[in-house]
């Protein structure tokens, strides 16, 4: 087997292991003495961390979780790492999978939203900015984080198609070849993963028991 391919496969494994690091549990128990898995939704993700660990620590955890999907891609964008065989986006996907199914938490992790956003920041900061704006607009309208979270991969897919069909080139691309092969499958997978992980939230919204976002409620009032 080609040694370069072996190196990239090892980096792929490292991306999963880094994604598996449970920052919410580690920092929550160490700094606040709180295990977020024992509170609220029981999910060791960003939203539950903000609710139970406070905005400062919670947002710090969201930032770290975003790196799970974006770190390797950022290294590629800044020329620190060169890839010959594997698409950069796959490293983001694998990092997100590590977050959702972390080996260190018996494969019971978060919902991949921050990792997906981080992946997009590394891959295309312009798309990330648009997706984050859409995320907050959707939350403002729907009042639910889960709905806003679902909008992120949908926005990614739409932007990839628009950029690809019209040949828009603002930033240097990290991939070569058809966007249908090197972008869309990864974004569709992330959409499927996020939808799958938010099924309980959708049911709660339908049953009227999902907690809405307070700032969206206040502005709506």
> What is the chain's mean pLDDT, rounded?
95
Q: How confident is the model at residue 60 (pLDDT cuts 50, 70, 90)?
A: very high
- Asked if the model's pLDDT at residue 220 lies above 60, the reply is no
What's 28's DSSP letter?
I
Please, which pLDDT band fits residue 215 given cuts at 50, 70 and 90?
confident
Position 130 scores a pLDDT of: 98
CB 216 within 8 A of CB 145: no
Q: Does residue 219 carry a pLDDT above 60?
A: no
- Let me know: does 144 contact 205? Beta carbons within 8 Å: yes
Number of domains in the chain: 1
Q: Please check the confidence at residue 192 and state whether its pLDDT lies above 70.
A: yes
Give phi and psi for 178, each to the nearest 5: -65, 135
Rounded distance, CA 161 to CA 94, Å? 23
- Residue 45, CB-side half-sphere exposure with 13 Å CA sphere: 25
Would the pLDDT of 218 be above 90? no
Separation of alpha carbons 52 and 170, rounded Å? 40
> CA–CA separation, 143 vs 40, rounded Å?
18
Indicate the pLDDT class of residue 56, thresholds 50, 70 and 90: very high
- For 169, the 3-state DSSP assignment is coil
If one counts every other C-beta atom within 10 angstroms of the C-beta of residue 217, the result is 11
* Containing structural domain, residue 28: 3-220
Helix, strand, coil shares, percent, the chain, to 5: 75, 0, 25
Neighbour-count burial of 181, counting CB atoms closer than 10 A to its CB (0-12 exposed, 13-18 middle, 19+ buried): exposed
Q: What are the DSSP E strand ranges found in the chain? A: none
């Amino acid at each position: 087997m080609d040694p370069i391919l072996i190196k990239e496969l090892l980096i792929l494994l490292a991306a999963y292991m880094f994604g598996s690091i449970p920052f919410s549990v580690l920092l929550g128990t160490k700094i606040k003495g709180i295990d977020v898995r024992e509170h609220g939704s029981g999910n060791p993700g960003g939203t539950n961390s903000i609710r139970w660990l406070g905005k400062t620590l919670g947002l710090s955890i969201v930032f770290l979780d975003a790196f799970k999907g974006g770190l390797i891609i950022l290294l590629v964008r800044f020329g620190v790492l060169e890839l010959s065989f594997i698409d950069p986006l796959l490293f983001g996907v694998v990092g997100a999978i590590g977050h959702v199914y972390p080996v260190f938490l018996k494969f019971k992790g978060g919902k991949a939203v921050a990792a997906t956003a981080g992946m997009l920041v590394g891959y295309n900061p312009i798309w990330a900015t648009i997706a984050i704006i859409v995320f907050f607009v959707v939350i403002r309208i729907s009042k639910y984080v889960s709905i806003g979270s679902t909008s992120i991969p949908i926005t990614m897919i739409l932007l990839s198609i628009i950029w690809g069909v019209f040949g828009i080139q603002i930033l240097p691309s990290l991939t070569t070849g058809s966007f249908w092969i090197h972008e869309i499958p990864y974004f569709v997978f992330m959409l499927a993963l996020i939808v799958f992980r938010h099924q309980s939230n959708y049911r709660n919204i339908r049953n009227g028991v999902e907690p809405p976002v307070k700032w969206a409620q206040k502005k709506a009032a």
